[in-house]
Amino acid sequence: MHSQEADIIDSRIVVVDEQTSVEEACDILLAEDISCLAVKSGEHSISGLFDFSDVNAFLTLAATKHTFSSEELQEKPHVDKIFTAARSGHVAVSLVSNLSEKNPLHTIPYDATLVSLLELFSRGIHRVLISSNSHNGEYQDFIGMVSDRRLLAWFLSFSQQSDSEFLRVFLSNPINSFSDSLPSLNLFTSVVATLSTASVLEAMRLMSEEGVSSIAVLEEEGGTLLSAVSVTDIGKIVVPSQSNQILSMTLQQFISMIKEQDGSTDGVDRYPVYSILPMSTMLYTMQKILATNAHRVFVTQESSGSSPLLSPMSSGNLTGLVSVVDILSLFARLANVRDVDPARMHRHRRASSVSSQTSQTSSRSDHSRSSSRTGIRRTLSAKTQHSPINNNSSGHKRTTSSSVTASAQSPSAGGNTVFSGDIPKSPT
C-alpha cells in the first residue's frame, strides 16, 4: 500500500466562526467551491460541520415555518431558537450545523488505519476530520478531511492494481449478484423519488424528511428515470437565485438549469448520467459514481425497445440504487469490520426528521413518503405486468455476503492484509 502520490486526504479544512451567519457561510461554501465548512466554537475547538444538506434543511424549515404552532415550538426548542434568530435578522451557522443530521463531526488521528475509516463510512458517515499529532495548547490541529468518495476512489485504484484474483472477480461481478448484501437494490424500500412535475420546494422537503442527499426524478408519463436532484444542486442554484420564485419551479425546469450550469462551467453535459443496469459490473458502478461526482447511482432495468441514441435510464424501469456507503460497506465486510450497517444513519435521520415535524407537516410527510414509493409502484406496475422487476434474473452466480467474507479470509484472497496499515497515500 506504499505510494509516492498525494495523501488520501482530499479536502482542506475551511473554518468559520460559530457566529458567522448562515447566509455568509453559504457564500463561503460557494466561493471556496468546497462541500463542507468546519464551525469553530470559542477560541480554539471545532464544534461541528456545515454543508449543503444543512443548507437544504434550513431552507426547508424557513419555507415551512408557518406550519409550526407556538405549542409545537415549545416542544422543539432548537427550531424555536432558529426562528427567533431569524426574526432578529441573524441566524448563526452554529444553530444550523448538522441540522440535517447527515453531517456529524467525527475526527481520527493521522496514523489511523483504513479499517477505522471503514468503520465510520460503512455506517453512513460521509466525511472525517484528520488530526495531526501535534497540539497547540488546548487546540487540536487538523490537517485535512477525508470523504467517503475519496476512500472509494482509493479502493478502486488499489483493487485495479492488486494481483488478488479475488479482487479482480469482485470488480467484475454484476451489481445484481450483490443483492443479498445490498438492500438498496430493492426499489420500494430504498429509492426516494418524485415526479418531474413536482416543485423544487417539494423536492427539498422530501430530501429533508427522508434524510437523503438526493432523490430520483421520474417522467410523469411512464415513470422512467429522468435525472436526480441533490442538496448540492439546491445550494448551488437556489441559494444564489435570491428569489422565492425558484421554489415553485418544476423539477423539469430545474434540471434544465442544472444542465445549463454544468455545461457552461466545464463544457461537459452531465445530463443524464445517473443510472446503471443490473448487469453493470462493480467496477463500472464505482467508476460511474466517481465520474459523475455523485454519492449514488440509480439502477434501471433495460427496456427491449430502448434506442441506442438514448441513455438506458431514458427507457428503463427504476429498480434500486447503489451508493458510496453501500460499496464501502462491502469492503468493510471484507475487512471483518463488525456491525456493518450502511442504513443506520439513514434510519436515524428519518426517525428524527419525522419526530421533529408538526402534526400538519407530519401528516403531509407520511403522504409524501408514501407517494415517493407507492407512487413509483403504481407508475411502474403497468410496465412490469409482463416483465416483473427481478434483480436476480440474470442467471449469474450469486455472491452472498457470507461467501464474500469467506473469500476475503482465504489465503488466496490475501486476507485482511489488503486493509491494514495507516491512512495511506493514494496509489497511482
Confidence of residue 37 (pLDDT cuts 50, 70, 90): very high
Q: Which amino acid is at 178?
A: F
Q: Give dist(CA 375, CA 360) in Å, integer.
A: 21
Residue 325 within a domain: yes
Collapsed DSSP state (helix, strand, coil) of residue 372: helix
The mean per-residue pLDDT over the stretch 142-148 comes to: 90
127 with 254, same domain: the answer is no
Q: Give dist(CA 345, CA 427) in Å, integer.
A: 30
Q: Are 283 and 174 in contact (CB under 8 A)?
A: no
Q: Are 154 and 427 in contact (CB under 8 A)?
A: yes
Q: Which pLDDT does position 127 carry in this prediction?
A: 93
Helix (H) or strand (E) holding 187: helix 187-190
74 with 193, same domain: the answer is no
Confidence of residue 189 (pLDDT cuts 50, 70, 90): low
109 with 200, same domain: the answer is no
Q: Which pLDDT does position 85 carry in this prediction?
A: 95
Q: Which of 108, 125, 148 corresponds to the end of one domain?
A: 148
178 with 110, same domain: the answer is no
Cell numbers given for 414: 490475501
Q: Which pLDDT does position 151 carry in this prediction?
A: 94
CATH number at residue 269: 3.10.580.10
Q: Give percent above pLDDT 90 in the chain.
A: 38
pLDDT in tens, 363-418: 444 444 434 543 444 444 433 333 333 333 333 333 333 333 333 333 333 333 34
Q: The domain containing residue 273 runs over which residues? A: 154-406
Residue 351 within a domain: yes
Collapsed DSSP state (helix, strand, coil) of residue 276: strand
Is 262's pLDDT higher than 70? no
132 with 195, same domain: the answer is no
164 with 120, same domain: the answer is no
Q: Give dist(CA 391, CA 301) in Å, integer.
A: 9
pTM of the shown model: 0.76
Is 163's pLDDT higher than 80? yes
pLDDT in tens, 344-353: 655 555 555 5
The mean per-residue pLDDT over the stretch 269-288 comes to: 81
Q: Considering the chain, what is the average pLDDT of its residues?
A: 75
Determine which of 64-73, 313-322, 377-386 has the lowest per-residue pLDDT on average: 377-386
Residue 91 within a domain: yes
133 with 218, same domain: the answer is no
According to DSSP, the β-strands at 225-230 and 214-218 are antiparallel
Is 32's pLDDT higher than 80? yes
268 with 286, same domain: the answer is yes
| Number of domain units in the chain | 2
Burial of 379 (0-12, 13-18, 19+ CB in 10 A): buried
> DSSP states of 331-356 as a string?
HHHHTT-SS--TTHHHHHHHHHHHHT
Residue 101 within a domain: yes
Q: Which amino acid is at 24?
A: E
According to DSSP, the β-strands at 107-109 and 214-218 are unpaired
Q: Which amino acid is at 68?
A: F
Is 181's pLDDT higher than 50? yes
Burial of 339 (0-12, 13-18, 19+ CB in 10 A): exposed
177 with 105, same domain: the answer is no
Q: In the structure, how many helices (H) and strands (E) does the chain have? A: 18, 12
Q: Which of 126, 148, 170 corresponds to the end of one domain?
A: 148
Q: Which pLDDT does position 342 carry in this prediction?
A: 66
Q: Which pLDDT does position 319 carry in this prediction?
A: 84
Residue 363 within a domain: yes
Query: Cβ contacts of residue 52 below 8 Å, gap of 6+?
Result: 29, 35, 213, 230, 231, 232, 234, 235, 236
Q: Which residue has the cell 492484509?
A: 417
Q: Which amino acid is at 183?
A: P
